[in-house]
A and B are shown apart, each in its own frame.
Chain A
Amino acid sequence: MMNKQTTVPDQAGHFGQFGGRFVPETLMPAILELEAAYEEAQKDPAFQKELDGYLKDYVGRETPLTFAKGLTEVFGGPKVYLKREDLNHTGAHKINNAIGQALLTLRMGKRKVVAETGAGQHGVATATACALLDLDCIIFMGKEDVRRQKLNVFRMELLGAKIVSVDQGEGTLKDAVNEAMRYWVANVEDTHYIIGSVVGPHPFPKIVRDFQSVIGLETKKQFREVENKLPDAIVTCVGGGSNAMGMFAPFVEEESVKLYGAEAAGKGISSGQHAATLSAGKVGILHGMMSYLLQDEGGQVTEPYSISAGLDYPGIGPEHSYLMETKRVTYAGITDDEAMDGLQLLSRKEGIIPALETAHAITYAQKIAQDMTPDESLVICLSGRGDKDVETVREKLGGSSHG
């Protein structure tokens, strides 16, 4: 089977006007070194083989593509399939990237890793990869996220990582990225920054997309095996956008496949309390990249809000900004309350409790399915499982939970 390749980014890391490398000069040499190391690794069959080995025997790939009978009935339109990234070791897609980048770290002769985390999923995945490959690991996490994701903090510590709680700003993901970048500036010679999504300066958005594209490649193959065609629509959630880019990448050049991304609309876009970067942001520059950004008139980045820590980010991967402007992907905001409905629906109808991030995709899929027919198919990227969120969900459902 032929896989059509995307042509972005260009040599300088630009996706149209987006992307690029807006970082202090101190980091530029490390970024160029990473780019060179990655190019070499891509050409080295031994690297790919080693990575594939870990993905298969350690992460548990390939993950199933599950036919969702219950959702198909409820939606009353297309056949619905779920790409089961929740079944990966550590419970989300984040491990695909963490293992890939940890192997790159070793390849560059470095033995120390810094990372940021929001929901803690990327932190857990990174701490896991570092334990496996014997790397030192320090993880920055916003103070507010430390509070709402206690279980993941403890997990990371069990795995031997050092967690630094970040007090700046609102103490969420943006602030954790700032501190991780500052730490990297000061320790760049022996430390690699394993960024957790398709964000940051080039080549990170490309590297993370490539490591995550195993999601889309498997989906394409598996879907062909059962349906002998391409799916008609694919729906993902979008925080920084890594599960989405990994899923979309092998389909972007397949024009018949409609692609959809669900952003976090929090308490509603008109409330101002949301993380719907593409729906409500403006182009700007943050964390080394040019992309859509939630900001005020003067270019100060504003604090996002979402019930889901993994979507609580004011920026978005530059490739998504590009895919929106070129109209290849459709993005829409899903509110906290809508996502809660999606979470409960999947739990009851399929016996799968999804992550709060993923729940946004379930609800968006339900909306899209209204305009689809039974001879069509829709795939949802089930980016992660909901164990980490059970506490938050219980708080939110309050009265309606059973004692």
Chain B
Amino acid sequence: MGKEKLDQRFQETLNKGDKLFVPYIMAGDGGLDVLNERIQFLEAAGATALELGIPFSDPVADGPTIQAAGLRALGEKVTLRGVMKKLEETKADRSIPIILMTYMNPIFAYGIKAFARDSAKAGVDGLIIPDLPMEEESRLTGDLTQNNVALIRLAALTSPKERLEKIAQKTEGFLYAVTVKGTTGAQTTFAETVGEYIQELKKMTDTPVLAGFGVSTPDHVRQLSEYGDGVVVGSQIVNCFHDNDRETIQKLIQASKKQAAH
């Protein structure tokens, strides 16, 4: 469970010659009742791990698509507590690792200790907190380590080399390479420096490096996976579920598989 499960799953996938594909979905978009089925669908479609967003009233790192999905989930009265409970109840239905992506305040309101403990119980293997830079992380790293929950750190295009090195050394599970200077949301193109940046990050850590923010087409998946170990796809997956377009999701995931690579 926890960190080891992530490490193991990533290694197995890479050993097969596939790239890592981590889809993001907003917990409770469409109601909490559809969550388990969506997780199972993504697992069957070949996703490596799942990033599960927790809705928050003020998501400053997110663009319009994820903001809207969060509002829909809040409209369904979805809470972090409710999501944890659902994950615990449905634990036996999945083997795909679960990574929660949540802003700090819902965790803080839950209680950091209780949250870390319940994460382990609910089968949450990793955590991404977009508003927690390394300067503030000591407020929860102790409890997370104790409960074996990986804290996945984010690297940014604006971070200078010394910061990137520190972030890369601290990260657990994988290193999240944010590929745009901006919020989440579908992009058409990426800056020319993105490839170099991901390759640079690869040299700084033994954990896999995944590119995320803006990844929205099978071509993006292939291109960005070339530099590192795979991708996180958010807004595009959220849109697809909202529009009930599962075929596009399957195509995106297939683009990370060996036979699909050129």
**Residue pair B158, A299 in contact (C-beta under 8 Å):** no
Could you give, for residues 267-306 of chain A, a 1 whenever the CB lies within 8 Å of some chain B CB and a 0 otherwise?
A: 0000000000000001111111010010101111110000
A254 surroundings in chain B (CB, below 8 A): none
B74 surroundings in chain A (CB, below 8 A): 300
Chain A interface mostly helix, strand, loop or mixed?
mixed
**Residue pair A284, B163 in contact (C-beta under 8 Å):** no
How near does chain B come to A376, taking the closest CB pair, in angstroms?
Answer: 42
Could you give, for residues 108-147 of chain B, a 1 whenever the CB lies within 8 Å of some chain A CB and a 0 otherwise?
A: 1110000000000000000000111101100000000000
B108 surroundings in chain A (CB, below 8 A): 283-285, 290, 299
**Residue pair A25, B135 in contact (C-beta under 8 Å):** no
Chain B interface mostly helix, strand, loop or mixed?
loop
Taking the complex as formed, is A147 at the interface, i.e. its CB lies under 8 A from any CB of chain B? no
Taking the complex as formed, is B197 at the interface, i.e. its CB lies under 8 A from any CB of chain A? no
**Residue pair B135, A28 in contact (C-beta under 8 Å):** yes
**Residue pair B155, A185 in contact (C-beta under 8 Å):** no
Question: Out of B58, B104, B153, which one reaches A178, CB within 8 Å?
Answer: B58
Give the distance in Å from the alpha carbon of A181 to the alpha carbon of B178 in the complex: 17
Could you give, for residues 169-188 of chain A, a 1 whenever the CB lies within 8 Å of some chain B CB and a 0 otherwise?
A: 10000100010011001111
Q: Which residue of B lies closest to A297 (CB)?
A: B109
**Residue pair A23, B81 in contact (C-beta under 8 Å):** no
Could you give, for residues 241-285 of chain A, a 1 whenever the CB lies within 8 Å of some chain B CB and a 0 otherwise?
A: 000000000000000000000000000000000000000001111
Taking the complex as formed, is B61 at the interface, i.e. its CB lies under 8 A from any CB of chain A? yes
**Residue pair A21, B136 in contact (C-beta under 8 Å):** yes
How near does chain B come to A196, taking the closest CB pair, in angstroms?
Answer: 16
Give the distance in Å from the alpha carbon of A258 to the alpha carbon of B257 in the complex: 68
Could you give, for residues 80-109 of chain B, a 1 whenever the CB lies within 8 Å of some chain A CB and a 0 otherwise?
A: 110000000000000000000001111111
Knowing A23-B133, A24-B61, A298-B109, the reply to whether A285 touches B104 (Cβ < 8 A) is yes
Knowing A24-B156, A285-B104, A300-B74, the reply to whether A186 touches B109 (Cβ < 8 A) is no
**Residues on A facing B (Cβ under 8 Å):** 12, 20-30, 168-169, 174, 178, 181-182, 185-189, 282-288, 290, 293, 295, 297-302
Q: Identify 30 residue pairs between A and B in the complex whose beta-carbon atoms are under 8 Å apart, listed by A's number.
A: A21-B133, A22-B131, A22-B136, A24-B61, A24-B156, A24-B178, A26-B159, A26-B182, A28-B135, A29-B159, A29-B160, A178-B60, A182-B61, A182-B182, A186-B182, A188-B158, A285-B104, A285-B105, A286-B58, A286-B105, A287-B58, A288-B131, A295-B109, A297-B109, A298-B109, A299-B107, A299-B109, A300-B56, A301-B105, A302-B57
